[in-house]
Amino acid sequence: MQLERFECRDDPERLAAQLRSRVPAPASVHETVAEIIAGVRQGGDEALLAYTRRFDTAGSDPGPLMVTDEELDRAARELPSDVRRGLEVAVENVSRVARAALHTPEPVSFEGHEVILREAPVRRAGVYVPGGRAPYPSTVVMGAVTARVAGVTDVVVCAPPGPGGDVHPVVLGACRLAGVSSAYRMGGAQAVAALAYGTESVRPVDVIVGPGNLYVQEAKRQVFGQVGIDGFAGPSDVLVIADAEADPEPIALDLLAQSEHGPGTLVIAVSTSAQLLELLAQRVGAGNDTGAVAALVHAEDLGLALALAEAFAPEHLELVGAEAERLAPSVASAGCLFVGAGGATAFGDYVAGSNHVLPTNGAARFSSGLSPAHFRRRFAEVRIGDGAGALARAAAPVARAEGFELHARSMEARIGDNGPR
């Protein structure tokens, strides 16, 4: 793993940009993805299966696109008992945290009318679960359970089949435990196209969420507007702020754990202690060939460390040590915040109850992690009674100033026998 050292004395925003630059921007796949999406829109199942053979199964024939209920039941039964128990804990904890995000609408009352801010779930949501390096049953839980709590009645999962033509059984078992309505053997940009536009076997969805490679994320970007998406999930990152009293060994393990995501991953430790950073350098830089990039930053004080974190806007931010932990109330730009020596990022990936589908590449400045809000539409219910006249007299001149005479007259028609004033 590539290891670099930096000093943070001033201008933390410049240093944040410098750290981001250590992971080069990926080559554009816009045109390739556009061709795949067009191919699936035109060719339906036939094109979808052709792309699956080309990109996922190494030329062999995949299983049927849709996984049957019997296959899901069998996969759930055959899960190793410890894996099943872990997934059940994750389902319960993610459900509890997601339910806490819901709220009951309350009317806003005026003299003569009221406005109720309402929410309603989308009808059908698609969760993309990556394949490639490893199966990700945890992503099934994060996406499907959150959609269920949001009230989505039809939650579908897709995951790329391997060379044997099937999706990993631990993913299918997680689908059953998480209450997935249906699962598909498909991945890549072609799966995103199928979920967005539909094929003979795949019904289109309203929202697509979940991580994936560059082709998947570019496909989500291109179909946005046809469907909703959660955001653009790029390479993973973690930033740890540790004070001089922090134990370096758990921090080193957290950095190494995140580096398992492979090339493009950025793991950063920031501390006022040169001694702690030296111990981390010895532990993190010792032959860990994951393709990730590690950075160790010496900050003159914790205020500068926090300013660097805010400018960097990490996907995961850890605060370790009593002094560092006191920074928590001031954090505003992080995908997920972990406070204390026990707060390993890995807990958030699996069972803490927070969601692991998080904004990356600095998007935590303006974007949020996956939540029920991604699966719910917000709209206003307006009930106008005796206040119609007063509202019309206020609004009609504004409508006429904009050149919309009929807008003005439609409101004034509600004034009643007294006519416009």
376-384 β-sheet, strand order: 107-109, 113-121, 376-384
Question: How far does the chain reach from its first CA to its final CA, in angstroms?
Answer: 76
Whole-angstrom distance, CA of residue 1 vs CA of residue 283: 11
113 is catalytic: no
* Partners of 237 in the β-ladder: 266
Alpha-carbon torsion (346, 349, 351, 353), positive or negative? positive
Whole-angstrom distance, CA of residue 367 vs CA of residue 357: 11
Pairing status of strand 266-271 against strand 293-299: parallel
316 is catalytic: yes
Whole-angstrom distance, CA of residue 385 vs CA of residue 112: 5
Q: Which of 71, 315, 318, 412 is catalytic?
A: 315
Burial class (CB in 10 A: 0-12, 13-18, 19+), 401: exposed
Q: Which of 316, 318, 356, 374 is catalytic?
A: 316
What percent helix, strand, coil does the chain show, rounded to 5? 45, 20, 40
Task: Show which residues are catalytic.
Answer: 315-316
